[in-house]
Every structure is written in structure tokens, then in C-alpha cells.
Structure 1
Amino acid sequence: MSLSDPSLRRRDLGTLGAAAVAVSLVALGAGPAAARPPSLIQQPAAGRPDRRIRLRRERGGTGAAADVALAPDPRVAGRGTVLRTAAHRTDDFALLGVTWAAGAGQVRVRVRDDRGDWSDWRPVAGLHDLPDADTAEGRRTRRGTEALWVGHGTGVQVEVTGAVQDPVLSLIDPGVAPYDDRPAAADPADLADPADSADPADREVAGRPRRSLRPKIRGRRAWGAKERWATGRPKRVRTVEQVHVHHTATGNDYRRRDVPRILRAIYRYHTRSLGWSDVGYNFFVDRFGRIWAGRRDPDREIRGAHTLGFNHTSVGIAVLGSYDQTAPTARVLAGVAKVAAWKLRKYHRDPLATTVVTSRGSDRYPAGTAVVLPVIDGHRDTNDTACPGQYLYEALPQIRLRTARRIDRSRR
């Protein structure tokens, strides 16, 4: 591990706001990472102490982070090259991700737990939750992987396949805050359903009082958003034609008190590692069915950074968890439907219908393409991704029905 790597001098790491070090990648040759035998894992040389990657405390917050420049061997070039770090000890961390300035690549990692045992190699999904290219944050964003929640890591080893420029590994410890253990019933940051909604569409129908559809939402203070990391002024969308459903692929075994920590870590990765103006999703729903404010101003329709090419007329809801092999609970479906009904009714959208949306440019639909999409869709309908996981995707018809029923009941 070299602390004087020139790649750090070639780019401004000021936006990352944490410890910046460099780890050398070892060239393993061309070919897919999955084909490399375990014997090629590069360990520190015999008799040489393993240097720990230190996380630096975030100023004014509860957490710590390190942004580690992965310096490629300058003698190795070309798409398909497999580069791998040595196995490094680290300070405790809970979430990781790899970003890069340009290019395309795939990433695998293995992580050491608090008992000193190393996990198997696992892929880290590529990032498709992105701001649109015609926005300021879209023009400055880095590419990379999704954020991977590991819970408790004490070591890491990274493998990168492909041609990427200036790769950086982010290790994030969101820390522990007093409100993390606060019982949900006593949470003052819960925003109750207001009887007098600010939206005229929520007030009356045919001269009669109309039931508000605004659900209870745990605000950003409830999970500890460091507001100075959110930059610029939130940009409103003119209308809401769709609700995009995502999953965060962060695992399903988290506890209630873990949720604020997960949200803080994702927020740090989105703003400080990727350079976005805020966390990408408008809302989060945890596996207990609780709704959390994501991007600023949840009562307004704010343009997010969740669905590349389709952020300009939509709301993004991310379910905390992984739904490739696990089905969502009824509480999860209810939470998503509550937000969808609230936002879609304002604009008289039918959650059981389709709509025609013009892409602003995604990896699936070029800019200017008119696409027929469900009003409530899954992320894979607009981008080349497996999100929101097969089981959550298969549950979308249930979410649409729940949303339609909720809207219909509010009109009675």
C-alpha cells in the first residue's frame, strides 16, 4: 500500500471528505474474474506486516470513512484485465463501494468479519441508480458499483475486471447515534398524516372533506442526515407520471435499529463518494414496512437520482433489502403502496395503467425514445439491471392493486 500514489495527485479528492490512501492492484492477466483460481489471491509478502486501512472520523458526525485509491499497474492495459489488491486489514466498516471516473468494469470483493474469517468472493452489482445526464449532478457523477452493506467488516480484498479510470474504494462506518435505538412509537421525527394537507387535491372532492393519503414518514433527522452534505437547491419535477420501485441489495437480516445506520451509509456513499447532490431515492421502505424520507423535501415532488433517463417525471422508492431470492413481506408491499398512492393521486394517475414516457437517455433506451411503461414499474423496466430483485418485481401487481384500493377508498 503506497501512500504517495500519483493517482491521488491527479484528481481532487476534496469532495470525498475522508481518509485518502492508495492500494496497489496486482495484475492477474486477461479473462473473467470468475475464472481465476483461488491460488492467485495475492497476500502480503511473508515477514512483511499487513498495513491496516484506517478510517477517519467524519467531521461533525457519528461515522468514519476511508476513500482508497486503487492504483492500477501502469504496465497493464486493455479491457478484460483482472486486477486484484492484497488482502488488507481495516478499521471496522459496515458498507463499501467502488467508484471510477470513466470506463466500464466489474467488481468482486471478499470481506473479513469480526472473528477474522474471510468470506467467499462475491460480485458487487454495477450502479444503475443514477442522475440524468442533463442535470448538474449527472454531469459530475462518478460511475461504479452499488453500495454493499456488509454489517461488520475488519478486512477487505478487491478485484476489478475491465478498463476503468481512477478507481476508488470507499469504506464507510456510519457510527452509532442515540436515536438509532429509539423505539418507533416514541420517535418525534415521525411525520403524522396531516388532516389539512397542503395539496388542494387532498382536501375535498365534490365539496366533501377528502381523506388524506399522506403516510407517516420518518424524517431525515430520524436517520441522521448530515445536511451540509446535500448541495444545491432541490429541483422539482413538473408532474409525476410514474413510481419506480427499487431494492438496495443490502441484505434482509438487519434489525430495526440498524436502519438509520444503513441510510446514513448510503447517503454518505451517494453524496461524498459519487458526488451527488443528495441521496438518490425519494423514499425508503424498510422490511418492517416503515417509510423513511430520502431526498430532501418529501412533501414536494423532487427530482431524484434513482432511475437514469426517467427521473424527470417520477418518484423513486427503494426497499431496504435484497429480493433476488427472498419475497417481500405484506408490510413492505403496504409501505410502497402508501407512498405510491399519495404521490399518484395528486396527479390523477391510474396505478393499474401504463403511460408513455420519453427517455432522457438510459443504458436501455436512448434519449428521445418514447417508451410505454407501467405507472408503477420496477427499475429493470427502464435500465439494464436486475433491480428490484425477481421476487419484488413479481410482487408489483400486488403493489398496484394495493395502491389502487387505497386511492379508491380515499374518494368515498
Structure 2
Amino acid sequence: MRGILASSIGVTCAAALALPLAPPATAADPGPAPTAEAATRAAVTAQHDVPGSTQSLPLRPLTRDRASGSAVLGLAPRAVRHFSLLGVIWDDPADELHGRVQVRTRAAGTGGWTGWQDVETHYSDHGADPDSAEGSSDGVHGATAPLWVGESDGVEVRVQPGPGAEEPGAEEPEGGDHSVLPPGLRLELVDPGDDTQESPRSGPMSAEVSAASAVNSALAPLGATEIPALNGEQTREELLTLRGARLTEQQRAKPYIGPRPAVVTRRGWGADESLRETRFVYTSKVKAAFVHHTASGNNYTCAQAPSLIRGFYRYHVSSLGWRDIGYNFLVDKCGRIYEGRAGGVAKAVKGAHTLGFNTNTTGIAVIGSYGSKKPSASAVKAVARLTAWKLGLYGMNPRGKTYLTSGGGNLYRKGKKVRLNVISGHRDGFNTSCPGGKLYKKLGTARTTAARYQGR
């Protein structure tokens, strides 16, 4: 799979820092000091730093957990190349990380270290369906959720095994030894790169950039950085152009569709189109929308949202081995909507967002963590505007229900027909806390508002 690119993954074993910091409660001796050769290698690497890359650092034993006696893995404080987003991955995507992942990072601008931050360990529910070509590829890895930390140049991490960090609302998994961490644990440090370098706004476009833009050619000119909003009448006229042959007489006479919202294209947020697989994968229709949160924290500005999306994209492709970013759309806390997986925003692009229910659905991720924090009114409104238009293209009522066939998961066996809301939360299709309790409670508002936008 093209997602695992050797050129995009730099393994950096940089010098451990002598820091005036108290050791973590479960940490032990940080280990021997690095050799002069290692320090020199780190310095040379820094001199040739290229924005837009991933550092992959293997985790090693730090100490043993006092309660279980199992090894606590991690990394002692160390200098690294600049990065802004991180996550922990492991070899087998079928394995679960039962335990607690905590990190501290050093801000590149001030040199100040953060306190310990928890990384969401449950992320297997975001992904391609188990038996799909994308989900069963040899290059796919298990992973935590990504965490946005801002531009940083130092990191410390510890991974403590045990069932104590189970996801809120999830049932205790049966069987297995939770004191054993999955093999191949690595810390991924993602530099999302600079948008002007990753996706130039001028000059000739590559074949990959042209292809990603051409699938939206009915909506915006080739190379556009944004698909503009339309009013209601313009949207209804466009519906007849896009899907006229598939509409019933009743749908032609009175189409229920919300005005098309503005959507920032992949070129607009600076996607490096050389990372993803070149082909696009489609399903037959869009019968439902699953709403997610990215679980990446809320410490970002809306101006930084394109950087976060580039980070998610690199993490999904270069670290997790997916063919492209998993979500079909993303929404920031200011209510701006972004194109996710390539293939065309008006088309039924198959994503990797709701394990077991990626067929005939679209995945919308609100950037942030909404377990204890309420989503902004702007973000909820954007979800309503987007679903009113996207579901309207396929004749779906946002306040209605529909049947989907499960591709397999921890709530529904493969092949089972399930009746779900046309606008559902991730937890409706998989036993997970996503999209966070606070965002999940707003889905009723999104359904009602979306139906109103459709004229129902």
C-alpha cells in the first residue's frame, strides 16, 4: 500500500534531554545517556529537516507497573524534529491497547513543557471494514487516536498496561490478558507540513492533484481551493444536473435538499496527493451520515484546522496504512466544512470511519474532543447544513431512519440488517464513546435543523 512510504517516515533516536523535571509516578530510570554518535546523527537530521514528515520511534521498557508487575513502555524526555500531532501505533490492527497512554511535549517556541496528557487509546472503531481490501491489507496497523499538541520539539511518553483506562461507556472485553501490551508499539510524531509547500496554489498541477480536483469539476473549476455555497434554487438546479436520471417524478417536482454549503477542497487544506492510493472507491448511494469527533483535543484555533487535517491525513495513511484519510468530511469549531477522502464531495465515496458501516454512508468528523466539552453552535449548524445537502442528493430525510447491512463489528454481526437514524452517531454502529457524549446529545438538533434546511 502506498500509505507506507519509507521516504515519509524518519526514525529519529535523538539525544535525551537533561531536564529539571520530576520523574513520572510510574516511571523509572530513563536509561543510559545517548552516545556522541547518536547526538551527531540527530543534529544532522535536524539540519536536513523537511516539513511534512513522520518520525516513528519504537517504545522500550521504562519500568514495571507496581500493581501488575508488567512492563511500562515509553520514551524518556528527548529532543526530536519539529512535529505538531502524535499517536501510538502497533503491529496488529486486531489487537487492542488496554491501558493508559500519556505524553508530555515541549513547545518549539517557548521551550516550556506541558503537563501529562492522556491519549485516547480506542481507535479501532474508526477504520475500514474488516474484510475489505483496505481493512485487511498487510500494511494496516492498530493505533490510538491522534493528539494535536501544536508545534513541538521535545517529547516524553509512557504506556501503562491494564484495564483501568477502558473507554467510558464500553463494556469490559472478554478474555485476554490486559496486562500485556500489543507488540510493535511505536510513537508517531507527525509534522503536517506547510500548505504552500504541500499543495502549491500556482504552477502546473500533478496528475494526482488534477485527479482529486477533477472529480469535483461539476461543482467548481479545476484547481479550486473551495467549492462555493449555493442558494436553494441553484442547488435544486444542480441536483437535476447531477442526479436527474436517478430522481423519481415526485423528487423532480419537489426535491428535498438543503442549499449547498461552501466546502474547502483537498487542495484548499493542502493535501499531499502523492501519499494516498490513486484510485477512488465508491458505493452505490448515501443512505446515512455517521457523525464522529476526532478525539484529538480542543487546543487548536480555526486557522490551524487545515494543519490538523493534514496531520490526520498523514497519520491515517503513513502510520495506520489506510488508503486515504478516513473521514469523508471534517468540520472545525468555527463551522467550516472540509473535503476529506478524495473522490468527489457529491459522490458516494467509500470512507474508513465507522467500522462495519462504511458502505452507503458518509462520515463527518467534528475536529476536537466532545466527551466533556460541548461542541460549538457553529459546528452543529455546519453538520446540519452539510447533511441537508449531502443526504438530499440521495433523497434521504435527515429525521428519518434507514436500514444498513453490517460489515461486522462489536455491536452487530456481519450481514445483519440494522435500522438506524439517517443521521447517526458513531456509537450507534459500534460500541464506542465517539462522537463524545456532548456532541451525541446535539444530533437531535442537527436532524431537525437539517430537515428544515431541506424544506421538510
TM-score by length of 1: 0.81
Aligned to 2:96: 104
Q: Cα distance, 1:47 vs. partner?
A: 9.3
Aligned to 1:40: 27
Aligned to 2:78: 88
- Is the contact between residue 256 and residue 392 of structure 2 (CA under 8 Å) also seen in structure 1? no
- Is the contact between residue 18 and residue 57 of structure 1 (CA under 8 Å) also seen in structure 2? no
Distance 1:202 1:224 in 2: 39
Instruction: Tell me if 1:154 matches 2:153.
Output: yes
Q: Cα distance, 1:380 vs. partner?
A: 1.3
Match of 1:350 among 384, 397, 403: 397
- Is the contact between residue 61 and residue 72 of structure 2 (CA under 8 Å) also seen in structure 1? no
Within 5 Å, which residues of 2 pair with 1:12-411? 14=5, 17-21=8-12, 38=25, 40-45=27-32, 62-70=51-59, 81-102=71-92, 103-105=95-97, 106-114=99-107, 115-127=111-123, 128-140=125-137, 141-160=140-159, 161=161, 162-178=180-196, 189-193=225-229, 195=234, 196-197=237-238, 198-200=242-244, 201=247, 207=253, 213-296=259-342, 297-408=344-455
Provide closer, same or farther for how the CA distance between residues 347 and 266 of structure 1 changes in structure 2, counting only shifts above 3 A.
same
Distance 1:139 1:329 in 2: 36
1:366 partner amino acid = R
- Is the contact between residue 256 and residue 454 of structure 2 (CA under 8 Å) also seen in structure 1? no
2:120 partner amino acid = V
Greater strand share, structure number: 1
Distance 1:289 1:168 in 2: 34
Provide closer, same or farther for how the CA distance between residues 230 and 383 of structure 1 changes in structure 2, counting only shifts above 3 A.
same
- Is the contact between residue 18 and residue 56 of structure 1 (CA under 8 Å) also seen in structure 2? no
- Is the contact between residue 236 and residue 301 of structure 1 (CA under 8 Å) also seen in structure 2? yes
Question: 1:100-134 CA distances to partner (integer Å, 9 max, x unpaired)?
Answer: 11232145122222233242252333212111122
Distance 1:169 1:68 in 2: 5
Distance 1:251 1:45 in 2: 33
Unaligned runs of 5+ in 2: 15-22, 162-179, 202-222
1:393 partner amino acid = Y
Distance 1:334 1:39 in 2: 44
Distance 2:248 2:196 in 1: 36
Distance 2:415 2:47 in 1: 44
Which secondary structure does the structure 2 equivalent of 1:226 belong to? Answer: coil
Provide closer, same or farther for how the CA distance between residues 209 and 344 of structure 1 changes in structure 2, counting only shifts above 3 A.
closer
Which secondary structure does the structure 1 equivalent of 2:418 belong to? Answer: strand
Provide closer, same or farther for how the CA distance between residues 92 and 380 of structure 1 changes in structure 2, counting only shifts above 3 A.
same
- Is the contact between residue 224 and residue 267 of structure 2 (CA under 8 Å) also seen in structure 1? no
Provide closer, same or farther for how the CA distance between residues 211 and 305 of structure 1 changes in structure 2, counting only shifts above 3 A.
closer
Q: Choose between structure 1 and 2 for higher RCO, CA contacts under 8 A separated by at least 6 residues.
A: 2
Q: Cα distance, 1:261 vs. partner?
A: 0.6
Q: Cα distance, 1:265 vs. partner?
A: 0.6
Distance 1:56 1:340 in 2: 46
Within 5 Å, which residues of 2 pair with 1:2-13? none
Q: Cα distance, 1:283 vs. partner?
A: 0.3
Distance 1:345 1:276 in 2: 29
Distance 1:295 1:138 in 2: 15
Q: Cα distance, 1:369 vs. partner?
A: 2.6
2:184 partner amino acid = D
Which secondary structure does the structure 2 equivalent of 1:139 belong to? Answer: coil
Aligned to 2:212: none
Distance 2:335 2:150 in 1: 21
- Is the contact between residue 258 and residue 450 of structure 2 (CA under 8 Å) also seen in structure 1? no
Distance 1:79 1:347 in 2: 55
- Is the contact between residue 59 and residue 73 of structure 2 (CA under 8 Å) also seen in structure 1? no
- Is the contact between residue 8 and residue 53 of structure 2 (CA under 8 Å) also seen in structure 1? no
Which secondary structure does the structure 2 equivalent of 1:136 belong to? Answer: coil
TM superposition outliers: structure 1 runs of 4+ over 6 Å: 46-50, 55-59, 208-212
Provide closer, same or farther for how the CA distance between residues 126 and 58 of structure 1 changes in structure 2, counting only shifts above 3 A.
farther
2:119 partner amino acid = P
Provide closer, same or farther for how the CA distance between residues 212 and 370 of structure 1 changes in structure 2, counting only shifts above 3 A.
closer
Distance 2:276 2:412 in 1: 29
Distance 1:112 1:222 in 2: 29
Aligned to 1:33: none
Provide closer, same or farther for how the CA distance between residues 356 and 56 of structure 1 changes in structure 2, counting only shifts above 3 A.
farther
What's the C-alpha RMSD, in Å, of the aligned pairs? Answer: 3.4
Distance 1:345 1:202 in 2: 13
TM-score by length of 2: 0.74
Among the aligned pairs, what percent are the same residue? 34
Question: 1:288-346 CA distances to partner (integer Å, 9 max, x unpaired)?
Answer: 11110000121211000000000012100000111112212221111111121112223
Question: 1:221-268 CA distances to partner (integer Å, 9 max, x unpaired)?
Answer: 111101111104211111222100001122334223201111111100
- Is the contact between residue 338 and residue 406 of structure 1 (CA under 8 Å) also seen in structure 2? yes
Provide closer, same or farther for how the CA distance between residues 206 and 178 of structure 1 changes in structure 2, counting only shifts above 3 A.
closer
Q: Cα distance, 1:374 vs. partner?
A: 1.4
Unaligned runs of 5+ in 1: 1-11, 24-35
- Is the contact between residue 112 and residue 153 of structure 1 (CA under 8 Å) also seen in structure 2? yes
In the alignment of these two chains, the number of paired residues is 377
Q: Cα distance, 1:365 vs. partner?
A: 2.1
